[in-house]
Structure 1
């Protein structure tokens, strides 16, 4: 299901790859990747924010703000540059072009580290410094319209099915657009939450800075919000 791994030393071949001239990477790709990013452990522990720049330096493109990682992810406090590798991975390196962490990305999923402690690389979400977990999200929630009209009350649990996916239970009076999906399982992926039906159906949400969720832009249909019920 979700595979995320963390800080590791890479082979000499990788160091050579990331040390190649930054101009080898398409300028538009670099611009698209530039900006504020959160590096955060999968387990919900505090992460830190890095800013990817478009300025070419030794080892790739400049990183700023690494000093903020000293407490949460000390190894990344030495981050100097970021770059793409020939196999499509993204690496963060120190001033000597030594790889500090390497991320892979599957289509439609966030960047995940590929060795060590499970770690995400996600576009920064305001001042949020950690990712949600199954344990932190478990409880009573409501799917509703942006105007507050209820659509379906659900309960997210930490109980797992035989494959290790957390279970959920919608109430019996859900609107057909939700009830017909027969949602029974759910999972987190970075700042995302996906609900799964036993017939292959799914419904995805993206977290907002206030901890609520909005239906992912990729989903069809009317906009929906997922908000925690008071006392849930």
Structure 2
């Protein structure tokens, strides 16, 4: 399923550790692979801002743009003047005095996240989305349907997440047979991905759209399917 994680292959991450720590020049292809526009947003679902990591050289790293959009939601990051790799597989945002404003740590299979204070995530996001989905803001009633509007099931997502990171959900009693047999019972959030799961291993993964609804992840295969909020 698509999880919008940073675009670093394992081999590239190894090069980054040595490149920064050993004072060696980093391969330009790695810098290009990392460059792009990302959402920086609090883990709790509060508003964030978009920053574009560029490839040009800047003081203590590489240039960036868009930091002015952080002035209201994340004012400290509005002072960012450059970005760089930290030598440990992470990524840092730096101000004009070389002060580190935020250090994003690599988490295998998940977006990069800060470890100090209220966590911030750095990840690619659908255009127009400025905050992370959370259990509380996604809880409610959703329709599982085909692109032509054919309704397959009504699902109710609940917001009381458990220690395992999943929250309960309940499908309606009149779901289509191909959905009912999945016995979906819990749901999980990972970045901008939402997964509906059973207790015996069945699952359906979805990725958020710009309008806040979800489409079935392309990795799932099969016919297109959407989750649309009622």
User: TM class by shorter-chain length?
Assistant: 0.7 to 0.9
2:91 corresponds in structure 1 to 90
1:103 corresponds in structure 2 to 104
**CA deviation string 1:100-138 (max 9, x = no partner):** 112233343222222221221122422322122211111
Q: Distance in 1 between matches of 2:55 and 2:22?
A: 13
Structure 1 portions without partners, runs of 5+? 1-16
* TM-score, reference length from structure 2: 0.82
Structure 1 ranges of 4+ moved more than 3 A: 17-23, 105-108, 160-164
Structure 2 portions without partners, runs of 5+? 1-17
1:126 is the counterpart of 2:127: yes
1:147 is the counterpart of 2:128: no
**CA deviation string 1:141-179 (max 9, x = no partner):** 011112221122100011344645311011223234432
1:3 corresponds in structure 2 to none
Q: Distance in 2 between matches of 1:21 and 1:92?
A: 20
Greater displacement, 172-181 / 87-96: 172-181
- Indicate conservation of the 8 Å contact 1:63/1:80, yes or no: yes
The count of corresponding residues between Structure 1 and Structure 2 is 213
1:192 Cα deviation after fit: 1.8
1:23 Cα deviation after fit: 7.2
- Name the CA shift for 1:96/1:178 in 2 (closer, same or farther; >3 Å): farther
Q: Distance in 2 between matches of 1:106 and 1:180?
A: 34
* TM-score, reference length from structure 1: 0.81
1:165 is the counterpart of 2:166: yes
**CA deviation string 1:36-64 (max 9, x = no partner):** 21111111211111111111223221111
1:69 Cα deviation after fit: 1.1
1:68 corresponds in structure 2 to 69
SS in 2 for 1:110: strand
Greater displacement, 206-215 / 162-171: 162-171
2:201 corresponds in structure 1 to 200
Aligned-CA RMSD value: 2.4
SS in 1 for 2:30: helix
Q: Distance in 1 between matches of 2:126 and 2:187?
A: 22
- Indicate conservation of the 8 Å contact 1:76/1:100, yes or no: yes
